[in-house]
């Protein structure tokens, strides 16, 4: 289930405040310094810093390409 585009347009990474992109079951921060992703569970974004994962550089670049 995709996140509503209007909601996604106002959501930002809680760490870097960078815009997010939906990639599969994740919301990926567009900030190259942090490369964080946040899970989407049952259609609900989990925007807790404790739940975030840092993505390897190559995986982050591929996700945002």
Q: What is the CATH number of the domain that holds 56?
A: 2.20.25.10
Look at residue 3 and give its three-state secondary structure: coil
> What are the structure tokens assigned to 10, written together?
């106002």
The answer to whether residues 27 and 36 touch, using CB atoms and an 8 Å cutoff, is no
Supply the range of the domain harboring residue 9. 5-64
Report the domain count for the chain. 1
In this predicted structure, the answer to whether residue 1 has a pLDDT above a threshold of 80 is no
Does the pTM of the predicted model rise above 0.75?
Answer: yes
Phi, psi of 24, rounded to the nearest 5 degrees = 65, -125
Question: Cβ contacts of residue 42 below 8 Å, gap of 6+?
Answer: none
> What are the structure tokens assigned to 15, written together?
């760490």
- The per-residue pLDDT for range 6-62, each reduced to its tens digit, is 999 999 999 999 999 999 999 999 999 999 999 999 999 999 999 999 999 999 999
């Amino acid at each position: 289930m995709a996140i509503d585009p209007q909601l996604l347009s106002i959501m930002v990474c809680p760490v870097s405040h960078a815009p997010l992109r939906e990639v599969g079951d994740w919301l990926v921060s567009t900030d190259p310094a942090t490369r964080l992703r946040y899970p989407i569970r049952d259609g609900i974004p989990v925007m807790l810093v404790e739940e975030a994962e840092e993505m390897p550089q190559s995986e982050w670049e591929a996700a945002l390409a």
